[in-house]
Amino acid sequence: MKESMEMLAKDPNSELFSTDIEPLRIDVIGSLITAAPIDVLVNVILVWAKQHKSKMVCIANTHMLVDAHQKPSFGEVLKDSDIVTPNAMPLVWLLKRMGVKTQEIVTSLNLMQCLCQKASQQKVSIFFLGSQSLILQKMRHRLAQDFPELLIAGMEPLPIRPLTLDQRQKLIQRIKHSGAGLVMVAYSSPKQEYWMAEHKNQIEAVMIGVGGAFPAYAGLNSSVPTWMKEIGFEWIYRFFQEPTKFWKKHVKTTSIFIHLALNQIWNRYFELR
C-alpha cells in the first residue's frame, strides 16, 4: 500500500485510478488518523472524485479526537470516515513518535486550496456547501482569480436549523445533478461531520469537512499562520483571538488529550519491549 500511494503521488494519471485506494491509518487515542503527506491525500481524493465514490474526509484536531473518545456516537462518525487528517501539531508529533517520520500537518484551508488547484487541472468539479451567501460570493470571486479553470458545480449556504426531509432530498438531488466529484462542507464541528455521515452513500461525491476554511479563504476571518501551526504555537494565536472561549473549550480538552496520548505512548513502549 505504501508503494502504491508513493506511485500515485508521482503519477496521478497512472493506472491506480482504476483501483480502490485506502490510505494507511494509525490509531491515535482511539481514532484512526490517516498517515500520508498532503500531495498523496489530494491524489487519493481525486481518484475517488473521478469515480464519484461516496467518501468522507474529516480534518481533525485534538479537540475532535477527545470528543470522539468521550462520545461513542461521534467516535463512530470518525471511524466510518475514509480519511481523517492531522490538523494539529500534537497529532503530527504523536504520529511521528509512532513511526511516521515524514508526517506533516494537513489543515482544512491548505487541503481545500490544494484540491482546487489539482481539480482545476484534472477537470473535477467542486460543490461548495455551507457558510453564508456573502462569504460564498467573496469565495467565488477569489476562486476565479486563483483558479480560473476550476469547475464550480454549485455554491449554497446551509441554514443553522436542520433541513426538512424534503429540503434534504432536494439538496441531494441538486448536488447529484451538478456532476460534482467533490463537496466541500463548511459547517461548525461536529455538525459538519454528523452531516457528512448522515449523507454518506446518498451523495455520490467525496465530502470534505472544511470548517472555517470558507471565511478564511474569503478574507473575512483570519486563519492561523502555517508557521505557527508547524511549530505547535496555534494555541497562542487562538488565545489572543478569543481568550475566554479558548480557556473554556481548549485547556480542558488539551489536558485530556495529553493524558490519553501519554498513556498510549506508555502502553506502546511496553508492548514493543
pLDDT tens per residue, range 200-211: 999 999 999 999
Q: Evaluate whether residue 27 is within a structural domain.
A: yes
Q: Evaluate whether residue 58 is within a structural domain.
A: yes
Q: Evaluate whether residue 262 is within a structural domain.
A: no
pTM (2 d.p.): 0.83
Q: Evaluate whether residue 98 is within a structural domain.
A: yes
Q: Evaluate whether residue 266 is within a structural domain.
A: no
Structure confidence by residue, pLDDT tens digits, 164-195:
999 999 999 999 999 999 999 999 889 999 99
Burial class (CB in 10 A: 0-12, 13-18, 19+), 270: exposed
Structure confidence by residue, pLDDT tens digits, 135-152:
999 999 999 999 999 999
DSSP-assigned states of every residue in 125-140? -EEEEES-HHHHHHHH
Q: Evaluate whether residue 200 is within a structural domain.
A: yes
Q: Which domain holds residue 105?
A: 21-218
Q: Evaluate whether residue 248 is within a structural domain.
A: no
How many domains does the chain divide into? 1
The residue that leads in pLDDT, 83 or 224, is 83
Largest Cα separation within the chain, whole Å, is: 57
CATH number at residue 117: 3.40.50
> What pLDDT, on the 0 to 100 scale, is given for residue 268?
75
- Lowest mean pLDDT segment, chosen from 163-172, 204-213, 234-243, 245-254: 234-243
